[in-house]
Amino acid sequence: MSFLVYIAAGDETFLESYGEQFYPFVVGAAANIHTALVKANLANKVKVVVPCSYDVFRSESGLPSKGHFRPNVNKTMMELLTFLSKHESPFFVTISPFQSYHEVKNISLDFALFRESAHPRNDSRKIYKNSFQLSYDTIITALSRAGFPHMDIVIGQIGWPTDGAANATSSLAEEFMKGLMDHLHTRSGKNLSPQDLPMEIYIFSLLDEDQRSIASGNFERHWGVFTFDGQAKYQVDLGQGSRKLENAQDVQYHSSKWCVVNNNRDLSNATALALDACSVADCSSLSHGGSCFNLSWPGNISYAFNSYYQQHDQKAESCAFGGLGLITTVDPSVDTCRFVVELRTSLSVPLHGHTLFRWIISPMLTILLYLIRDIFS
């Protein structure tokens, strides 16, 4: 069995919030990696790609037929597309109906979630019933206008977050994923040209990442299909038929202890201490619409304290907070708001503050070893 492997040069280097700081380097970096692959006789099996965020596109009317690349990225994008075309590499791009729904006023939740009740959009006699297809056809139009109408497209990231914002929930994530799978299955059964469907799609992501940048929103730390400790948030058919997503087994946690606020102390400085804790730890679930949004004061203070305490491996001094912290064995979780107990680091490998433990490491290493064997054989 042969594999096509990708090496990504950067991660959404054209993201608008980054400015133009990476523009002078991205194509050169990709070219240098390709040169190294050529010297190693791997260029036919390993392709260099540059993942792009969806905000590289513009459409003044919001319709695919008017799609084009953002003006300030045009020059570098042309260089990139020329490089990709020359070496038969696909165009990697993120599609995020969730962010489109949050940022674009004329996209409804129904439209983002593939619901039958969604109000369709009409564009030059073509009817769009969901945000995904509208976004995908915008990409096709932009590539065509740039002179690359037949370039293969890979959706490098797509998903729906489950916390950290309004409408970021597990139930809506499940609905979105099922809608996406049904949509792709329906379209794949039609007589379409190759570019009418992405060459590949990568679900974002496997696990939550508690140290991921939240510049775009607190939901950025909650894209996982699984929680940080390997528990499936919902069920969806990812092509495995009747098989269900399986939870991690024999997960090794720290002791059942939590750090909460000591209500018997003067709490006048508690909010400031909680803000300090959240600047280091992950308090994204406390944001508006999040799973812990409804925690009243000082419950939200306790959440911040505990997040910091768990991140520091339950060390006693990490629950001090000037005498306002109190270690308890009574789980303070309320309804959907989970006060986590972190994983034992002796059985884990750090990954973005949470841990990627051996139940994932072992099978992934096995797959990687087989992949490497096929590449070099």
Going from N- to C-terminal start, the domains of the chain cover: 5-247, 258-342, 343-377
The fraction of the chain above a pLDDT of 70, given in percent, is 88
Q: Say which DSSP state 212 is in.
A: S
When pLDDT is averaged across residues 315-326 and rounded to a whole number, the result is 97
pLDDT for the residue numbered 369 = 35
pLDDT above 90 covers what percent of the chain?
78
Q: How far apart are the first and last CA of the chain?
A: 11
- The Cα 80–Cα 28 span in angstroms is 9
Identify the CA nearest to 119 among candidates 127, 109, 129: 129
Q: Buried (b) or exposed (e) across 318-357, using 16+ Cβ within 10 A?
A: bbebeebbbbeeeebeeeebbbbbbbbeeebeebebbbbb
**Residue 200 and residue 217 in contact, taking contact as beta carbons nearer than 8 Å:** no
Judged on CB neighbours under 10 Å (0-12, 13-18, 19+), 279 is exposed
| Distance separating alpha carbons of residues 288 and 219, to the nearest angstrom | 10
Band (374; pLDDT cuts 50, 70, 90): very low
User: Tokens for 297?
Assistant: 């004061």
Confidence of residue 188 (pLDDT cuts 50, 70, 90): confident
pLDDT band at 192 (very low <50, low <70, confident <90, very high): low
At 125 the pLDDT is 84
Nearest of 156, 254, 165, 162 to residue 208 by alpha carbon: 162
Tell me the mean pLDDT in the region 247-254. 93
Q: Which amino acid is at 244?
A: K
- Of 107, 229, 110, 212, residue with least CA distance to 161: 212
- Residue 191 pLDDT class (50, 70, 90 cuts): low
Give the whole-angstrom CA distance, residue 62 versus residue 93.
Answer: 18
Model confidence at 325: pLDDT above 60 = yes
**Alpha carbon 84 to its chain's center:** 24
305: buried, middle or exposed (CB in 10 Å: 19+, 13-18, 0-12)?
Answer: buried
What band does 344 get if pLDDT is binned at 50, 70 and 90? Answer: confident
Per-residue pLDDT at 226 exceeds 80: yes
Cβ 352 vs Cβ 209: under 8 Å = yes
Model confidence at 96, pLDDT cuts 50, 70, 90, reads very high
Rounded Cα distance, 239 and 200, in Å: 13
pTM, 2 dp: 0.87
Q: How many CA atoms lie within 13 A of 3 on its CB side?
A: 15
Amino acid at 296: S
CA–CA separation, 237 vs 35, rounded Å? 40
Cα 1 from chain centroid?
Answer: 29
> Cβ atoms within 10 A of the Cβ of 317, count?
8
174-183, 184-193, 338-347, 368-377: which is most confident: 174-183
d(CA 333, CA 9) in angstroms, rounded, equals 41
The mean per-residue pLDDT over the stretch 17-44 comes to 95
Q: In the predicted model, what is the mean pLDDT of the chain?
A: 88
- 339: pLDDT strictly greater than 60: yes
Average pLDDT, stretch 162-189? Answer: 93
- Residue 112 binned pLDDT confidence (cut-offs 50, 70, 90): very high
Beta bridge partners of 57: 69
Q: Which residues are catalytic?
A: 12
- Structure token digits, residue 141: 């139009």
Please tell me the CATH code under which domain 5-247 is placed. 3.20.20.80
**Which pLDDT score, from 0 to 100, does residue 111 have?**
97
Phi, psi at 91, each rounded to 5°: -90, 115
Lowest-pLDDT choice from 14-18, 148-152, 365-369: 365-369
Task: Tell me what pLDDT residue 124 has.
Answer: 84
